[in-house]
Amino acid sequence: MSELHDTYDRKIDYLRLSITDRCNLRCRYCMPEEGVAVKPHTDMMSYEEIIAFAHLAAKAGISRIRLTGGEPLVRKGVVELVSSLSAIEEIKEVSITTNGILLAQHAQDLFNAGLRRVNISIDSLDPLIYTKMTRWGQLDQALAGMDAALAVGMVPVKINAVVLKNVNDDLEPFAQLTMDYPVHVRFIEYMPAFYEEGHDNFISGEELEAKIFALGSVDKSESPGGAGPARYFKLAGAQGTLGLIGSSKGHFCESCNRLRLTADGKLRTCLFSDQEIDLLPALRGGSPQDLMNLIERALREKPKDRFARREGKINRKMSQIGG
Query: How does pLDDT run across 231-251, given as a tens digit for each residue?
Result: 999 999 999 999 998 866 556
- Whether 148 contacts 161, CB under 8 Å: no
Do the Cβ atoms of 215 and 175 come closer than 8 Å? yes
Tell me the per-residue pLDDT of 96-128, one tens digit each, with 9 for 90 and over: 999 999 999 999 999 999 999 999 999 999 999
Bridge partners (DSSP) listed for residue 175: none
Order of all β-strands in the sheet with 14-18: 218-221, 231-235, 241-245, 183-189, 157-163, 117-121, 93-98, 64-68, 14-18, 258-261, 266-268, 276-278
Look up the pTM and report it: 0.93
| pLDDT given for residue 36 in this prediction | 75
d(CA 71, CA 171): 25
Beta carbons of 261 and 17 less than 8 angstroms apart? yes
- Judging by DSSP bridges, how do beta strands 14-18 and 258-261 pair with one another? parallel
Q: How confident is the model at residue 1 (pLDDT cuts 50, 70, 90)?
A: low
**CA proximity to 85, closest of 52, 41, 45, 116:** 52
CATH number of 14-160+252-321: 3.20.20.70
Burial track 201-218 (b if 16+ CB lie within 10 A, e otherwise): bebebeebbebbeebeeb
- Predicted local distance difference test score (pLDDT) of residue 110: 98
Q: How far is CA 247 from the centre of its chain?
A: 14
Whether residue 81 has pLDDT greater than 80:
yes
Say which residues have a Cβ less than 8 Å from residue 180's Cβ, sequence separation at least 6: 239
Strands (E), 222-288: 231-235, 241-245, 258-261, 266-268, 276-278
Domain spans in the chain, listed from the N-terminal domain onward: 14-160+252-321
Give residue-wise pLDDT tens across range 123-162.
999 999 999 999 999 999 999 999 999 999 999 999 999 9
Are 322 and 260 in contact, with CB atoms under 8 Å apart?
Answer: yes
